[in-house]
Amino acid sequence: MNPAVSVIYVNFNTSALLLHSLRSLISHCREVPFEIVIVDNASEPEQKRLLREGILELEAESTSLVFSDENLGFGRANNHAAKHALAPYLFFLNPDTLIINDVLKIFSEFMNAASKTVAACGGKLLKPDLTPNDSYGNFPGVRQELAMTGLGFRFLMTNYRQHIAIANSAPDKPIKVPYIVGADIFIRRESFDLVEGFDENYFLYYEETDLFRKLKSHSLESYILPDAKIIHFEGAALNQNPGNEFSVSKFRFLLNSKLYYHRKWQPRWKTSLIRGIVLVQIFAQFLKGKMGSRLLPLLSTYFNSRH
């Protein structure tokens, strides 16, 4: 039987998490035929062994396992996986997720009934205690960057926070959103191809934001379906340490992606303004003790940022 959905995972030293997620997918999604495509992003040998053995134990049919000799980054690896996918729908799923109902049926039925102007949908992401997690976001701009300085500008995002509150209080109604969090993106293959997939200039972070910005530029819409429920162990796929200590390397990826995103989508004057705001963010958050104990590496990363 031809698959209706290609479920795509990217693995980087997260084999145990991925296999746990895969078991939940197989257990709960039984009505819609699907294939599984996994790209391993140059994981450690032991992680590759665990992945191979785990896939064999699951006896999952229609599973493609692709090993890359280099870490391609999130977007590039997903694009690579999409080239191996056969189905008309692509479902990009993070390893740090657990499926808790038949999301493939919910997503497929919604998309099959929707207008072709609807490009993608996602589920209601939950924290491990089953309280709401972030499922979608607003496109970043000057207001959001100001709100993130920690200098009392949070009121600039009041309308957006109210939108989230209203969405969480309407559990059965599809919610039209700017972009879907990259942990679970169910998208038409034709829409994904139309915008040429993920922008591979991002190594990590902002890839999904950029993808949905491109979809919006083609007047395509995206929705969250609260009936589809997925637990997201946010950050687990990045191997974050238990103490959640500040990581300069993570900060470097995030900063480069953020500045590239704004340079790509904002006029030049806004990009310059945002660069200044980001510098204020660094000083303010450092003084609050949220960005490690050394300022020099932060400033070096900022002034040497590629974008």
Q: What integer is the mean pLDDT of 126-145?
A: 93
pLDDT at 163 over 90: no
Name the pLDDT band for 238 (thresholds 50, 70, 90): low
- Residue 120's H or E segment, with its range, is strand 118-126
**Closest to 14 measured CA to CA, from 116, 110, 95, 114:** 95
| Domains in the chain with CATH codes | 5-139+178-238 (3.90.550.10), 248-303 (no CATH)
Residue 13 DSSP one-character state? S
HSE-CB for 67 with a 13 A CA cutoff: 12
DSSP string, 177-240: -SEE-TTEEEEEHHHHHHTTSS-TT-SSSSHHHHHHHHHHHTT-EEEEEEEEEEEE-TTGGGT-
The reported pTM is 0.93
* Predicted local confidence at residue 167, as pLDDT: 55
Percent of the chain with pLDDT over 70: 91
Please check the confidence at residue 240 and state whether its pLDDT lies above 50: no
DSSP H or E run through 113: helix 103-113
- The pLDDT score that the predictor gives to residue 159 is 66
For position 125, what pLDDT does the model report? 95
pLDDT digits (tens, 9 = 90+) for 210-222: 999 999 999 999 9
pLDDT the model gives residue 236: 63
pLDDT of residue 173: 87
Residue 35 is given by DSSP the state: E
Give residue 155's pLDDT band: very low, low, confident or very high (50, 70, 90): confident
Q: What is the mean pLDDT of the chain?
A: 91
The 10s digit of each residue's pLDDT in 76-112 is 999 999 999 999 999 999 999 999 999 999 999 999 9
What is the spatial distance between Cα 18 and Cα 34, in angstroms, rounded to a whole number? 17
What torsion, rounded to 10 degrees, do the Cα atoms 240, 244, 249, 253 define?
A: 80
Helix or strand or coil: residue 140?
coil
User: How many helices and strands in the chain, by DSSP H and E?
Assistant: 11, 11
Place 234 in a pLDDT band, splitting at 50, 70 and 90: confident
